[in-house]
Every structure is written in C-alpha cells, then in structure tokens.
C-alpha cells in the first residue's frame, strides 16, 4: 500500500517540508533508506545519515536543525520514534489484513464465526468454537472444541489451542505456540508414575502477545491465567495453574513451574527458572539465568543469581568470588611462610 507525505503527515499530526505528493510503500532504517521508503531520525548519533540517505521521506523531531540542505521530504513531529512506531503498527495491520476462508479447511457446523474473519488453509475449527470480529487464524492451526477467541486477535501458523481455552481481544499468538496441553502432573508410588488428568483450561486476557513455540499448560482444576497486557517471548514454558499478572514481560527460555503466582509489571530475564507454588510480588525484576526457589514478597525487588538474592548483594559477592583464586594463593603463600619459620 502506498502513502503520500501529505497522508502520513495527517496520520502523525506532523508538518511537511518538501514534496507533499511524494509516495512511499515501505519502511526502512535511515542508513538503509531507498527510493520509495520512509525512515526516521530520533537518535542524534545517526544524524549524519540524513545527509546521505536515499529514503524518500524521513520523520524528524520538530526541533531538528539541519546543518546543510537536505534534498528529501521531511515530516516534523513531536516525537519521531513514537511516530515511526505508529507507522509500524499501521504497516503490520495492513500486512495481516486478510479475510475469507481458504480451502481445504475444516469448520464445525456449530462453530460461531463473526464478520471479517480470516481462516487459512488446513486450519481446524472444532465444535462450539466462538470466533470474534476481525480474528485472523493462519494455516495449519488447530482450534479445539469450545474455544473462544475475541475480536482482533491474530493466531499465526501452526498454533494449537486445546479445548475449552479462552483468548481475549487484540492478542498476537505466534507460530508454533501450544495453549492448553496437559500440565506435568503425576502421582508416584509402587514403582510407577500415575498420570493425573488435567481438566482445567487456559485463560488469556486482552492485549497479550505470546512468542513462537511457547507452551502454556492447562490447569489441573480451574485455570492457568495470563492477565491483560502480558508479553511472553519465544520458547517459554508456563506450567499448570500458573497466574501471570498484568503487563508482566518474560524473556525467552524461561520456565515457571505449577501454581506459581507472578505479580503485575514484573520483568523476568531470559533462562530464568521459577519453582512451583511461589508468589512473586508486583514490579519485581529478575536478572537472566536466575533460579527462584522461594517467594519474593517485597515489591520492586531486583534479584539475581541461583539461588537468587538482592542484586546489589549479588554483585558485591561476585567481586569476592572473582578474587577467590588470588585469596587462595595468598593464603597458600602465608602457610608456606609459616611452615618455613617452624
């Protein structure tokens, strides 16, 4: 889709310097700009690129003062970075703005599907499924019986949503995600492991994004819950009956064991492991590769290590840890000196 500088300025509430009729159809970094593309300048260290870029339009802050003539069209805005983010959102929505039902696909006769929905080839839509307006379900996806998906949610290729799960509005679920598989539940004894069947579901609230190949297990009884605004990276494991609070972000390869409750607005780094049945307070930050073996009751805590503890104490301890070889050598030298005197 092509946009003129005039149309973009209206969209971004900006002012034009240059040709209002110049058209663009792609977005690029300023150092990689090319004819027919739009870029932005927000970080001063990239300023020199604006004099050599071949992008047709560049978004700049209103207070930008060029050192020499710029032969391209500028759109001046209050915040160039935020304005470019708006364009990325528009571009992304246009890219995924498909409608219609591709064949072959299977849709149960009693599934309820609202308008402007897209269902890709080889998708399976089970019994009593409810799909809201403008939902996009890409090829090879499986939507089990009684699943509910609310409006404007995007389900990308190869996603599997097991029966009875509920997905909110404006969610993005990336390729390969599995929602609602059985939790890892077994009883042990008599030299065998007996499966405990998981009969609950997964509830994902509005505005959640789930990265590729992440797995979220159904509850044993009740629900595994991902609250509004949560952002999950790729390759994350969320176990049965976990609850993740609003707007929490979790980086890739992290794992959360069963029945743990994580608060609002937490930030959890990559490869963090959290054992089951814990409580993590609001706004806690956990550094990458940390191991959490006990509840964190203090809000706004920042922790690191395995087992994890206060990050300032961890850094001090690590300084001593790095000095251990030197300390050991000094102790050995002292022992030798004492032995020599005897």
What is the Cα–Cα distance from 261 to 276, expressed in whole angstroms? 9
User: Exposed, middle or buried, 222 (CB in 10 Å: 0-12/13-18/19+)?
Assistant: middle
Which one is catalytic: 49, 174, 240, 277?
240
Q: Taking each helix axis from N to C terminus, what angle separates 5-12 and 80-95, rounded to the nearest 10 degrees?
A: 110
Q: Which DSSP state fits 296?
A: B
Buried-state track 253-274, b at ≥16 Cβ within 10 A, e below 16: bbbbbbbbbbbbbbbbbbebbb
Biggest CA–CA distance in the chain, Å, is 95
Any idea of the CA torsion for 298, 300, 302, 306, to the nearest 10 degrees? 40
Sheet with 243-244: list strands edge to edge.
112-113, 130-131, 148-149, 166-167, 201-204, 223-226, 243-244, 261-262, 279-280
- 8 Å CB contact between 61 and 80: yes
Residue 240: active-site member: yes
Distance (Å, whole) CA 58 – CA 32? 12
Q: How many CA atoms lie within 13 A of 197 on its CB side?
A: 1
The pairing of beta strand 3-4 with beta strand 23-24: antiparallel
**Helix, strand, or coil (residue 226):** strand
Integer Cα distance of 240 and 259 in angstroms = 6
Count of alpha carbons within 13 angstroms of residue 176, beta-carbon side: 9
Catalytic residue annotation:
240
């Amino acid at each position: 889709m092509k946009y003129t500088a005039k149309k973009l300025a209206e969209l971004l509430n900006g002012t034009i310097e240059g040709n209002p009729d110049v058209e663009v159809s792609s977005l690029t970094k300023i150092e990689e700009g090319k004819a027919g593309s739009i870029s932005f300048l927000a970080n001063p260290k990239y300023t020199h690129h604006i004099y050599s870029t071949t992008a047709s339009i560049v978004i700049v802050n209103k207070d930008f003062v060029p050192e020499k003539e710029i032969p391209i069209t500028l759109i001046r805005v209050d915040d160039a970075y935020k304005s470019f983010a708006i364009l990325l959102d528009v571009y992304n929505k246009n890219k995924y703005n498909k409608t219609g039902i591709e064949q072959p696909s299977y849709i149960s006769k009693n599934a309820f599907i609202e308008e402007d929905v897209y269902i890709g080839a080889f998708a399976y839509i089970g019994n009593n499924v409810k799909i809201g307006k403008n939902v996009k379900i890409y090829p090879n996806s499986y939507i089990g019986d009684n699943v509910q998906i609310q409006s404007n949610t995007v389900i990308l290729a190869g996603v599997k949503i097991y029966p009875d799960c509920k997905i909110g509005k404006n969610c993005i679920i990336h390729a390969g995600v599995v929602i609602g598989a059985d939790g890892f539940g077994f009883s042990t004894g008599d030299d065998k492991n007996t499966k405990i069947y998981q009969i609950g579901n997964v509830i994902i609230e509005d505005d959640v994004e789930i990265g590729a190949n992440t797995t979220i297990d159904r509850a044993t009884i009740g629900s595994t819950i991902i609250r509004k605004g949560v952002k999950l990276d790729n390759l994350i494991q969320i176990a049965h009956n976990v609850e993740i609070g609003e707007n929490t972000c979790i980086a890739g390869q992290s794992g959360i064991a069963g029945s743990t409750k994580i608060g609002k607005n937490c930030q959890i780094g990559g490869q963090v492991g959290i054992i089951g049945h814990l409580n993590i307070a609001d706004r806690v930050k956990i550094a990458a590769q940390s191991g959490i073996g006990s509840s964190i009751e203090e809000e706004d805590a920042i922790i690191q290590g395995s087992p994890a503890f206060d990050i300032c104490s961890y850094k001090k301890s690590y300084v001593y840890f790095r000095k251990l070889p030197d300390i050991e050598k000094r102790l050995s030298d002292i022992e030798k000196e004492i032995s020599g005197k005897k």
